[in-house]
């Protein structure tokens, strides 16, 4: 095979085959390096973008987190502030500022958890009171 006798189509095909051979050779070199690292016990540096799989039989340890029931963190401080406000009540905006909570969370609390508590009453627009 004389290179000077090749047509441009044959030359392009030859270039494609050489590129494919080089990429396959690079992959083979990487596999050989991984096998060698497993034999010697030395870890290879991780490549970017590649996520290696977890070996069989290895399980993730998941820490169990205990969460408090929804609304529990607000209930006690909110009732304390409402009791201190007396019969005249306190606005949601003032409650949110004192408790350092978003006003939307306060409104939501009143419409869900708050309606189940006896003694909480709405005394005005966005104003609530608590009589224990």
82, 122: one domain: yes
Range of the domain at 22: 8-40
C-alpha 110/C-alpha 123 separation (Å) is 13
- Residues 121 and 78 placed together within one structural domain of the fold: yes
Whether 82 and 125 share a structural domain? yes
What does pLDDT average to in each consecutive run of 10 residues of the chain (132 residues)?
A: 78 91 94 87 64 66 70 83 91 93 91 89 92 79
For 89, residues 6+ apart whose C-beta sits below 8 A from its C-beta are 82, 123, 124, 127, 128, 129
In a domain, 2, yes or no: no
User: Domain of 86: which CATH number?
Assistant: 1.10.10
Number of domains in the chain: 2
**What strand order describes the sheet that includes 127-130?**
90-91, 127-130, 120-124
- pLDDT given at position 36: 87
77 belongs to a structural domain: yes
| pTM attached to this predicted model | 0.47
Does 84 share its domain with 36? no
Q: Is residue 97 part of a domain?
A: yes
- Tell whether 76 and 124 lie within a shared domain: yes
Query: Are the C-beta atoms of residues 14 and 6 closer than 8 Å to each other?
Result: yes
- Give residue 39's pLDDT: 84
Query: What does the pLDDT read at residue 90?
Result: 93
């Amino acid at each position: 095979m004389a290179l000077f006798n090749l047509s441009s189509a044959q030359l392009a095909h030859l270039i494609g085959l050489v590129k494919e051979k080089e990429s396959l050779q690079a992959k083979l070199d990487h596999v050989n390096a991984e096998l060698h690292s497993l034999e010697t016990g030395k870890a290879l540096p991780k490549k970017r973008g590649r996520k290696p799989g977890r070996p069989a039989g290895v399980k993730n340890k998941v820490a169990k987190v205990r969460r408090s029931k929804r609304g529990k963190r607000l209930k006690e401080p909110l009732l304390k502030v409402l009791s201190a406000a007396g019969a005249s009540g306190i606005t949601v905006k003032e409650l949110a500022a004192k408790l350092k909570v978003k006003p939307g969370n306060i409104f939501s609390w009143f419409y869900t958890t708050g309606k189940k508590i006896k003694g909480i009453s709405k005394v005005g627009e966005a104003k609530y009171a608590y009589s224990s």
